[in-house]
Chains A and B, each alone.
Chain A
Amino acid sequence: MAHSTRRGLAGLATAALAHSATLRQAQAQARYPSRPLQMIVPWGAGGGTDATARIVAALLEKELKQPVNVVNRTGGSGVVGHAAIASAQPDGYTIGIITVEIAMMHWQGLTELTYANYTPLGLVNRDAPGIQVSSASPYKDITALAEAIKASPPGRLKASGTGQGGIWHLALVGWLQAMGLKPDHVRWVPSNGAAPGMQDLVAGGVDIVPCSIPEARAMIDAGRARSLAIMAPARDPQFPDIPTLKETIGVDYSTAVWRGIGAPLRLPAEQAATLTAALKRVYESAEYKDFMRSRGFGMDWADGAGFRSVMAETDKAMGEAMRAAGLAKT
């Protein structure tokens, strides 16, 4: 409780400063940030989002000359942490990592929160799904697989890689629709994430796993699985051998998971500008590039406005896919 009072006082102080003379305001802004920042992560310690947040926080600390503390606020399948970012004091001292789930949860009626509840600061990562099959599978390229899908009776082929209504399920739905097929033409087998899905692919339990290529990389490297295509506008420079859907079967469909840094609404513009500029320098640093390359995560940058439009596009696309798959409540 002491913590929220302190934050409340700080918020009042910021508000008071903002309403005082321009000179004092300028001084106050020049001093930002004058105390440690908090970065909220809506997912558990040890996962990919947590690792990304921690490297960004460590580098942001160097840029801002203030400690940036990472706090995992888990629970409610990401709802709790995302809500904590949105409802924090907009004083520039609480920021958070926002993940693609923000564009999905509200369609399922799990929360009222949407991307519009945040001040976007910068997009730092984007990964497009690849289309993986087992190396024992008869489909050698994406054309053969697409033909086989079209020729098969609905529900014969199975795909897995995340829970029902998860991001990779929606990627599959979007792809099937772009090919003019029903959203459940390939039946979805829910799994606890991409790794169990890939394992089931190799064990012969499912036919297709549409998950991000870094998640499938170990199985591909082990010669157990093949990545036939990527659902992106262009090839991934880290995996240049994997063609896009458009250049192979002429289906112009792309989607992605992304992660970005955001703050609560009504963040003062000067502070947002400071944070975005610092994030851009973090993104361009050699340490960040090394980290992303080692994890195989896709590099993509967008500033505040750009991140907002990425979120808006995803929100619309996810809404359509979820309605088509009968998963949307609203």
Chain B
Amino acid sequence: MKDILEGFALVAQFDVLLAILASAVYGLVVGSLPGLSATMATALLVPVTFYLSPIAAVATIITASAMAIFSGDIPGCLLRIPGTPASAAYTDEAYAMTRKGQAELALGTGLWFSALGGIAGTLSLVVMAPLLAELALNFSSFEYFWLAALGLMCATLVARSSPVKAIASMLGGLLVSCVGMENPAGAPRFVFGITDLLGGIEPLPALVGVFAVSEVMRAMAAAEPPPLPRRRFGPIMAGQWELTKRYQKPMWRGNVVGIIIGVLPGAGADMAAWVSYAMSKRFSKEPEKFGTGHPEGLVEAGASNNASLASGWVPSLLFGVPGDTITAIAIGVLYMKGLNPGPTLFTERASSMYALYIIFALANIIMIPLGIVMIRLAAGVLRAPRAAVMPVVLLLCAIGSYATGNNLFSVLLVAGFGVLGYGMERCGYPVAALVLGIVMGSMFEQTFVTSLIKSDGSILPFFERPVSAVLAAITLGALLWPLGVWAWRRFARSSGSRKARQLVG
């Protein structure tokens, strides 16, 4: 109890509260700009943390990353341009809602369920940190392989187009992820002697290209769409309580999946959003509505990516193993500020830990009022003429991709992927599946090859380890399920028609 009170005292400092507020605004702005990810927002904060007290330094990172993951939904919803990779899974859905004139409902859903997910993730951190960390530590490359395979299978589930085209897109993404020398053999592949390709193609320029640049190209090629009805933006939080009651199960499923994926090192908010959106569609009572502007998937995936953010801190705080790219940066800051990760952080420095919990909760609570302000400001984009918005988007794409590495090559990469994305959309290939392939590709390959090295080429350990066996069963089940359904239907139909014939005969 004394520790909790001390925790509150640590947070209730002027500099800490100011740091939370400033980094919240910063995170909201950076996350909403296409091409600047939540990871980027965190990395840019590191030099600032040099000058802050330990608690304030960690507070800036917690707050800014939570805000950036939520506000990545805003441009996705308004312009069909996801602000961060974690929003890419449900961008089409949110944009479809905007086209139906439900932009405030879509954005409100993102905001409300992001905040709820963040709080659920925080609770998991408070209550189950040691338990969850144990789970994460039992994951070896065999388990990660199945996880990556499951992630890749989401491609067919989330796409509206034909599964064949979705799989083709996803395989294209896997091919892109083969570029560079960041592969298990350490050998340069598909680099054509170009130095810039040695490091491989990052998901971010690809994402910005296929979503944002291709959207700009489409806007240039097509006639101005009928303007959205000119009206004031309605109340943003209206109807959220209804949704919470109606979609209680998806929300909880999203929270739990987000927490579990977040805890696993190397799998972060991006994957949580993909898996949750796919699960939502799979288990929904009305899957045919998905992709037409249906909030159910937004509820589940929006909750999931923010829940994963908080639980991603569990292995970082206990073992110094980063749960995702954001916590990888945060670990450096923790060390620098003398909050060395380890079990002692939870015992000897319990008051600091409580302070972190309180900051997590606080960040997710102030997300709601600040998010409403941000949404109201951003909604102006819908009223602005397209000729004014699109050049700005293109400029932001160029600046954002340049800023990540001060490298002109990534700007060219964005342009190239823009053309590719435009072509793919014209031919009905879903670009989201391509991004999924790029995001998951290196994990898929890395875990497969390292597992085989460890087992001396035997595939048995993929099925022997208990967790691995369960994941394998889920993956293979999900793979064979549609096939089984198809075969059964065929059988039922043919026997049915035989019966019909017999009756006639």
Which residues in A have some Cβ–Cβ distance to B below 8 Å? 44-48, 50-51, 54-55, 58, 70-77, 79-80, 83, 108, 110-111, 155, 158, 160, 163-166, 187-192, 195-196, 198-200, 202-206, 214, 217-219, 221-224, 291, 294-296, 327
Contact = CB atoms under 8 A, between A and B. Distances in A.
B44 A45 contact: yes
Mostly helix, strand, loop or mixed at chain B's interface? Answer: helix
B195 A79 contact: yes
B406 A196 contact: no
Contacts of A224: 137, 319
Interface stretch (B249-257, B305-313, B446-454, B489-497): B446-454
A199 B342 contact: no
A80 B456 CA distance: 36
A46 to B, nearest CB: 4
Contact of A165 (B42, B186, B328, B453): B186
A50 B50 contact: no
A151 to B, nearest CB: 18
A108 B188 CA distance: 10
Contact of B450 (A190, A202, A219): A190
B198 A77 contact: yes
A73 B405 contact: yes
A218 B456 CA distance: 30
17 contacts: A74-B404, A75-B199, A75-B405, A75-B409, A77-B182, A80-B196, A83-B195, A158-B454, A160-B450, A164-B186, A187-B453, A189-B450, A189-B453, A189-B454, A198-B321, A203-B138, A205-B450
A190 B447 CA distance: 10
A190 B446 contact: yes
Contact of B321 (A110, A155, A190, A199): A199
B181 interface: yes
B318 A200 contact: no
Interface stretch (B22-30, B332-340, B417-425): B332-340
Leading 3 A-B pairs by shortest Cβ distance: A218-B320, A164-B186, A74-B405
A266 to B, nearest CB: 23
A304 to B, nearest CB: 27
A221 B404 contact: no
B294 to A, nearest CB: 37
B199 A77 contact: yes
Contact of B47 (A48, A70, A75, A190): A70
A196 B328 contact: no
Contacts of B141: 200, 205
A61 to B, nearest CB: 12
Given A46-B332, A72-B405, A195-B321, 4 more contacts: A111-B195, A214-B335, A294-B336, A294-B338
A218 to B, nearest CB: 3
B108 interface: no
A304 B155 CA distance: 54
B336 A54 contact: no
B391 interface: no
Given A110-B198, A190-B450, A47 B332 contact: yes
Contacts of A158: 453-454
Nearest to A190: B184
Contacts of A74: 199, 404-407
B472 to A, nearest CB: 17
B370 interface: no
B416 to A, nearest CB: 15
A80 B265 CA distance: 28
A205 B454 contact: yes
A319 to B, nearest CB: 16
Nearest to B39: A46
Interface string B176-201: 00001110111110000001111100
Contacts of A295: 332, 335-336
Contacts of B50: 54-55, 58
B322 interface: yes
A199 B265 contact: yes
A132 to B, nearest CB: 13
Interface string B61-74: 00000000000000
B198 A76 contact: yes
B469 interface: no
A37 to B, nearest CB: 16
B139 interface: yes
Q: Which of B142, B335, B409, B456 gathers the greatest number of chain A CB atoms within 10 Å?
A: B335
B320 A195 contact: yes
A3 B407 CA distance: 14
B196 A76 contact: yes
B477 to A, nearest CB: 25
Contacts of B331: 195, 218
A305 B3 CA distance: 53
Q: Which of B139, B337, B405 gathers the greatest number of chain A CB atoms within 10 Å?
A: B405
A51 B57 CA distance: 14
A46 B446 contact: no
B405 A51 contact: no
B446 A72 contact: no
Contacts of B265: 195-196, 199
B162 interface: no
Contacts of B43: 44-46, 50
A46 B42 contact: yes
A51 B336 contact: yes
B46 A54 contact: yes
